[in-house]
Amino acid sequence: MSYSIVMKSLLCTAIFLLVVESAQAQMERKRSIENLPDPELFLSTSLVTAQTVSIVPKGEIQSAISHSFGSIRSGWGDLFGLDNNAAVHLGLDFGIAQNVSLGIGRTSVDDVFDLRFKWMPYRQNSSNSRPLSVGLYVNTALETLEERRFDYSFTERLSYHSSLLVARQFGRKITLQLSPSISHFNTLISQDDSPLQHTVFSTLFLGRLQLNERNSLSFETVPILLDPEAIHHWAFSYEIETGGHVFQLFLQSGYLFTEQYIIKQTTDSFWDGDIRLGFAIHRVFEMKKK
Amino acid sequence: MKVQKTIKSSISRNLSLILALVSFPIPLLAQSYYAENGTANFTSSVPLYEFTGTSKQLTGLINFNDLSVDFYLDLETLDSGIKKRDKDMRLTLETKKFPFAEFYGSLLDSVDLTNLNPQKIRTRGNFSIHGVTREIVVEGEITVEQTALHLTANWEIRLDDFNIVPPSLLIVKVDQIQKVSIDIRLDKQ
């Protein structure tokens, strides 16, 4: 008797629960994406001049406009360099395949066109099974400025730059990147009899401090190896990301926007007060609208 | 000994039945339709330009036993075609804190499950996004198929109704009105 009553009670309870659950049939919410997204080491594909380990995703195009003004040493007369010799770089980068981008750009100073290629086969992930991002960057620049003193051939106008890009994000806030590099100019002009160094070894050093999800502070510098007298380029940038754009406001010593030119032709020292204000805007588009 | 064995096996059988009933309550009694691969679109506008975040992981359940309608979407699955914009959408919607957009309500109109022509339906319920819930009425169209229901619906939300502050691009701002549309084929359970 007791067994029968117990079973009946349990069945009634089960049916009651069934009805209640059916009447309150709101589903349990389950996440579709369980894993954390991979860390974003830098907000943009380049800081002021130096390329970062970030790359334009496949199927996207990035346009970038970079602008630097004159030295702030000029004071109020030239509005701290804003009236002076601006250098402008226009660039387009295409995400042509997974982790591969191809770009073209032009710098207004010396009318330099650059063609660049980036390959990022190994990228730091959130699970830390890949603790570093490692990739390769190469560019070729063509100086098209008419030179009255010499008649240059096409190859004499070329210069090259290659970097191994190695970066890691520490925690979620700090990213550091080292880029051992080699740069080469086919042609250099000497104003005196000093020997010319056509090939330069350097290590670009980049860093980013993430202030919050949309704002960062970054720096880049280029210690030049084997040349103790070389003046090293420095730049500090404040970056804002919003609505698919990255805005950069920066202070820098060099004023050109191609790595080999920054390495070879920086003559101003940031720490002696030869600082220029500049800005850049990066915008990403879809190559083919969905 | 034999009697005890019989009683034990009977207890065990009945308990199994009860457990089974409690574990699978919905499909057994209710005529319900379910899917977790529906499409949801969130379309935003800025002057002269419109973009859409799309997800193909909309989960939905229509239960004709109690006329309930239950849909939800993991907002981190929205894809606008540009990774930076996706990140921006996630930040704007604060998806770490509020991962789901969801609607839970009731059918206001009856659906004739023997009629294979498209039928207009209305549902009233609570739409939640960004941690804010508001009651809305959504109009849609339902088409009965052999073992499924095909549902489409469109509605609009005002971002400020849900405390969503869209990012501005210098002086250009994203429109407050966001269009939401869903398209889902729910299989009979």
Same domain, B23 and B90: no
A237-252: average pLDDT = 90
Q: Which of B83, B91, B103 to mutate to test the interface with A (most CBs of A within 10 A)?
A: B83
Same domain, B21 and B48: no
pLDDT of residue A112: 93
CB pair distance less than 8 Å for A26 and B18: no
pLDDT of residue B99: 94
Q: Which of B50, B76, B84, B98 to mutate to test the interface with A (most CBs of A within 10 A)?
A: B84
Same domain, B40 and B4: no
pLDDT of residue A73: 83
Same domain, B5 and B72: no
B12-40: average pLDDT = 65
Same domain, B94 and B144: yes
Fill in the DSSP letter of residue B30: S
Same domain, B132 and B145: yes
A104-129: average pLDDT = 93
Give the pLDDT band of residue B69 (cuts 50, 70, 90).
very high
Provide the b/e sequence for A42-65 (b: ≥16 CB within 10 Å). bbbbbbbbbbbbbbbbebbbbebe
Give the pLDDT band of residue B117 (cuts 50, 70, 90).
very high
B175-188: average pLDDT = 93
pLDDT of residue B28: 40
| Among candidate residues A202, A190, A192, the one with its CA nearest the CA of residue A164 | A202
Same domain, B18 and B44: no
ipTM: 0.75
Give the contacts of A243 (CB within 8 A, at least 6 positions apart): B46, B85, B88, B167, B168, B169, B174
Residue in B closest to A212 by C-alpha: B91
* Domains along chain A with CATH numbers: 51-286 (2.40.160.40)
pLDDT of residue A229: 76
Residue A81's Cα: distance from chain center in Å?
A: 26
Same domain, B54 and B105: yes
A110-135: average pLDDT = 94
CATH code, B112: 2.40.128.110
Q: Which residues of B fall within a CB distance of 8 Å from A59?
A: 81
Same domain, B49 and B141: yes
Least confident of A118-127, A149-158, B25-34, B69-78: B25-34
State how many domains chain B has: 2
Same domain, B90 and B147: yes
What's the whole-model pTM score? 0.78
Same domain, B35 and B20: no
Cβ proximity of A56 and A95 under 8 Å: yes
Q: What percent of chain B has pLDDT over 70?
A: 79
Same domain, B108 and B54: yes
Instruction: Select from A29, A30, A244 the Cβ nearest to the Cβ of B85.
Output: A244
Cβ–Cβ pairs < 8 A, chains A and B: 103
pLDDT of residue B85: 86
Q: Which SS3 state, helix, strand or coil, does residue B81 take?
A: coil
Write out pLDDT tens, residues A51-91: 999 999 999 999 999 999 988 888 888 888 888 877 999 99
pLDDT of residue A84: 80
Q: A165 or B146, which is more confident?
A: A165
Residue ranges making up the domain that contains B10: 1-28
Instruction: Select from A29, A60, A246 the Cβ nearest to the Cβ of B82.
Output: A60
Q: Which range has the top average pLDDT, A149-153, A180-184, A193-197, A244-248?
A: A180-184
CB pair distance less than 8 Å for B15 and A10: yes
A228-255: average pLDDT = 88
